[in-house]
A = this chain, B = another copy of it.
Amino acid sequence: MNQISPVQTDTAATAATPDLRRVNSNPDFWYPVAWSSALRRNKTLAVSFAGIPMVLVRPEEGTVFALFDRCPHRQVPLSKGTVNGQTVRCCYHGWAFGRSGRCIDVPYLGKGKMPNGVRTFPVREEGGLIFVFPGDPAKADTVPFPKLAQTANPAYKTKQFGPRVNCHYTFMHENLMDMNHQFLHRRQMGQIKARFLGQDKGEDFIEARYSFMRCAGQQPLAERLIFGKHKDLNGREQPIEEVVTIRTEYPYQTLRITDKDGDLIMDLWTAYVPVDKDERVTQAFGLLSILRPQTPLLIDLIWPALGWFTNRIFLEDKEIVELEQAAWNEVGHDRNVEIFPVVKALRELLTRCGIAQDAAPQADAAPVALAAPAACAATPETTA
């Protein structure tokens, strides 16, 4: 009876390296929290970042603003209230709060001393997404805003997708970064084998490059339409010459595909936004830009198939990362035994740039004034 211990080399958390699933997202970055289309004029929208309730308000005039989504009076969500001009009025006793968070009216109180207001969050709206800066607002202007795939480039058509996944955001990073998991998608993509070409890394990023080889099975239609046929004149499969580059640049992740001429044919940008305080539920926001083919009609033709195809693949990824989270919940700590250097380095990056839960501010306190770890602000250095 072979009694091989499954715990021999697991990645136990130590004082030096906390459990990766207890590393919170660093709030000193811009995070998308809603699609622009979900928030109409004169309406509110309740969103959440790591358990911090926020109300987004789009007034009749002007830009969206974001407040802590609890009326300071009785803690009910301001998002249940009404929008009047540049204010949001609590649905319960009608207290009104302005863009600055200040309380500007209590209907049954004289115009003198007003109660305290609520916390505000910096907001930016770009590429069809509403972003907030949940951390120290003083840093909002200096922290770089991400490039959102090719949303601004008319040569590309961009698809939005925003699944909610019941797992820690780090599982999502690992899933996409490790292209050796093509076995998971064998039913959708046939038997494809990734070939690891190399990596780059720096203080706040890691990047892996792969090419792919079809081992067996049919090439799916959507794949063929984007990448073309990979057969020689005798109908034999040829190595796929595109290069897939996956990059986690904290806290975002991108996947870019370039063809043999080096042209960017697909550009995926994604952010994994923690919903709950423990960060075990993740709202993903993804932008997938596809280079329009020379036959302009083609992209519109394949668009539905592409949606169906990416959705099928994503559902497999969602199921597996949720199983990973479930296994973590079972034992209460990370037992993964990683052997792939890129993923090992990714785990270090996520630990380094995130905020270990014990070190994090208490649930109750607003996570302001956290010093961004120096590591993540440094200039990236490139390693082969």
Query: Residues on A close to B: CB < 8 A?
Result: 1-10, 51, 53, 68, 70, 72-77, 80, 89-94, 100-102, 106-109, 115-120, 122, 137-138, 140, 178, 180-181, 183-184, 193-194, 196, 320, 323-324, 327-328, 330-332, 335-340, 363-364, 368
Q: Which of B9, B51, B122 contacts A1 (CB 8 A)?
A: B122
Whether B323 contacts A76 by the Cβ 8 Å rule is: yes
Q: Tell me what chain A mostly uses at the interface: helix, strand, loop, or mixed.
A: loop
Whether B9 contacts A116 by the Cβ 8 Å rule is: yes
**Known contacts A115-B337, A183-B92; A324 and B74 CB within 8 A of each other:** yes
List B contacts of A337 (CB < 8 A): 72-73, 115-116
List B contacts of A68 (CB < 8 A): 6
**Known contacts A76-B324, A363-B331; A4 and B92 CB within 8 A of each other:** no
**Known contacts A76-B324, A80-B323, A138-B1; A8 and B183 CB within 8 A of each other:** no
Whether A93 contacts B181 by the Cβ 8 Å rule is: yes
Q: How far is the CB of A356 from chain B (nearest CB, A)?
A: 21
Q: How far is the CB of A280 from chain B (nearest CB, A)?
A: 15
List B contacts of A122 (CB < 8 A): 1
List B contacts of A115 (CB < 8 A): 9, 337, 339
List B contacts of A76 (CB < 8 A): 320, 323-324, 327
Whether B107 contacts A183 by the Cβ 8 Å rule is: yes
Q: How far is the CB of A250 from chain B (nearest CB, A)?
A: 22
Whether A108 contacts B194 by the Cβ 8 Å rule is: yes
Q: How far is the CB of A185 from chain B (nearest CB, A)?
A: 10
List B contacts of A116 (CB < 8 A): 4-6, 8-9, 337
